[in-house]
Amino acid sequence: MAAFRKVVYIDLTKEESWIEERPELYDQWLGVTGVGTQLMMEECPQGTDPLSPQAPVILNIGPLNGLFPAITKGISHVKLPLTGEW
């Protein structure tokens, strides 16, 4: 399960990527929805324009994907331009 304690950040503006170990994130927020929601709260401050380069797109998979790929899910978190909600 150590692979699920990492977050890959990709900055398309700077054309850079890096990996960060985030064990506290996965210990506190088990599950694909909880981790994605927490990352949105961290990376998308209030008032961020949904169409700006600062608006994150978060893609993640469930913690059991490697064990049971047929029954796990992937989820995406984005800020919607129509409503401004995520």
Q: What is the tens place of the pLDDT at every residue in 32-63?
A: 888 889 999 999 988 899 999 889 999 988 77
Closest CA to 25 of 8, 45, 10, 50: 8
C-alpha 3/C-alpha 8 separation (Å) is 11
Please check whether residue 84 lies inside any domain of the structure.
no
Please check whether residue 85 lies inside any domain of the structure.
no
What DSSP state is assigned to residue 35?
A: H
C-alpha 5/C-alpha 35 separation (Å) is 10
Please check whether residue 6 lies inside any domain of the structure.
yes
Please check whether residue 13 lies inside any domain of the structure.
yes
pTM higher than 0.85: no
Percent of the chain with pLDDT over 70: 93
Please check whether residue 55 lies inside any domain of the structure.
yes
pLDDT tens string 1-18: 455 688 999 999 999 999
User: Hey, what are 68's tokens?
Assistant: 């049971």
Name every residue whose Cβ is closer than 8 Å to that of residue 27 and which is 6 or more positions away in sequence. Answer: none
**pLDDT value of residue 27:** 84
Please check whether residue 38 lies inside any domain of the structure.
yes
**pLDDT value of residue 28:** 87
**pLDDT value of residue 29:** 84
Please check whether residue 83 lies inside any domain of the structure.
no
Q: Number of structural domains, the chain?
A: 1
**pLDDT value of residue 2:** 54
Please check whether residue 47 lies inside any domain of the structure.
yes
**pLDDT value of residue 4:** 65
Domain that holds residue 60: 2-77
**pLDDT value of residue 3:** 56
